[in-house]
Amino acid sequence: MRILVTGGAGYIGAHVVELLQARGDEVVAVDDLITGIPERIPGVVIHELDLADTHSVPRLSEILTTARIEAVVHFAARKQVLESVQRPAWYFQQNIGGLANLILAMESAGVRNLVFSSSASVYGNAVGAQIAEDAPTVPVNPYGMSKLQGEYLVAAAGTAWGLRGVSLRYFNVAGAGSDRLGDRAVLNLVPMIFERLDQGESPLVFGADYDTPDGSCVRDYVHVSDLADAHLAALDTLDSRPAGWHEVFNVGTGLGTSVLEMVETVRRVSGVDLPPEIRERRAGDPASVVASVAKIERELGWSARRGTEEIIRSAWEAHRSNNER
């Protein structure tokens, strides 16, 4: 297949680019290179382009047509929750505007298959042991709102002109498929633990008085390579689906791991023995967020193969190799 990957030089996008290339697909990337790093995807043509700019529509349409693209995997977006609270209009402009421009270009170029990066943040503070796709979607920050609106837009374009879409709701993504592909941003738990260790400081645990087995927050950590596999499963299902088809799928493991357990695994894997430091709860954190993965297993035949040990081992190796550069 010939596939356009937006945000292809990003942390998750680059993992998908690598898998697509490995199986012989032709890949073209679009990236504004604000957080994307071209060295992640050597040999891939990257069109440097801000999707949220209206002028991008004719350019994108030309890229789609010239490269005879058959499907798009859309990662390019802003993804910092706190920043989205501070700059909601910009988040909507970037995330919804970018997707709208992409879909306009796809319509004009006649490209009908789309995999959209959504997020478990669409569920807001959902409660229950495992969250299924039919749980209420009540996002609690503009980032999550922009992802939910994005899903609606993909579905609406299906109704309007037959776009076929899959929206993947990612849970907590971590790990690295290779040293080159590690997450270089320090915005989530695993990179934040590593940064503390680099500084010779204890990892921070935001709250140990939650109603969870050990008192710290529980999340569903999915290895980025498993997540990348899920995109291939999503892409591969689209061709056989009717025009206008759209489905949402959780991408997680169905297993919860606490912050204290993650910190302990980092201690074991890294050999750096600094005891966790318990801090106040962080505002807005739900106690437990774990996916139900029955739907994606049943309908796409995908399930995660890697656990938290492999997530942390691969992330640690990529982190060390990046520090050595």
Tell me which residues in 33-52 interact with ligand WQD (CB under 6 A): none
Cα separation, 88 vs 76, whole angstroms? 17
Cα separation, 219 vs 289, whole angstroms? 5
What dihedral do alpha carbons 136, 100, 64, 25 form, nearest 10°? -20
Q: Which range touches ligand WQD (CB under 6 A), out of 17-25, 45-53, 199-207, 308-316?
A: 199-207
Cα separation, 187 vs 296, whole angstroms? 27
Question: Out of 67, 140, 156, 204, which residue is the one contacting ligand WQD (CB under 6 A)?
Answer: 204
Binding of ligand WQD at residue 172 (CB under 6 A)?
yes
Interface pattern 173-192 for ligand WQD (x via CB under 6 A)? ---------------xx--x
Specify whether 123 is catalytic. no
Binding of ligand WQD at residue 84 (CB under 6 A)?
no
- CA–centroid distance for 226 within its chain: 11
Binding of ligand WQD at residue 264 (CB under 6 A)?
no
Binding of ligand WQD at residue 267 (CB under 6 A)?
no
Give the nearer residue to ligand WQD in terms of CB position, either 47 or 306: 306
Cα separation, 228 vs 304, whole angstroms? 10
Sequence-distant (≥ 6) Cβ neighbours of residue 41 within 8 angstroms: 8, 9, 14, 17, 18, 27, 29
Catalytic pick from 11, 143, 170, 221?
Answer: 143
Interface pattern 270-289 for ligand WQD (x via CB under 6 A)? ------------x--x----
Binding of ligand WQD at residue 135 (CB under 6 A)?
no
Helix (H, G, I), strand (E, B) or coil at 173: strand
CB neighbourhood size of 61 (10 A): 20
| Enzyme catalytic residues | 143
Contact residues toward ligand WQD (CB under 6 A) are 79, 81, 119, 121, 170, 172, 188-189, 192, 204-206, 217, 219, 259, 282, 285
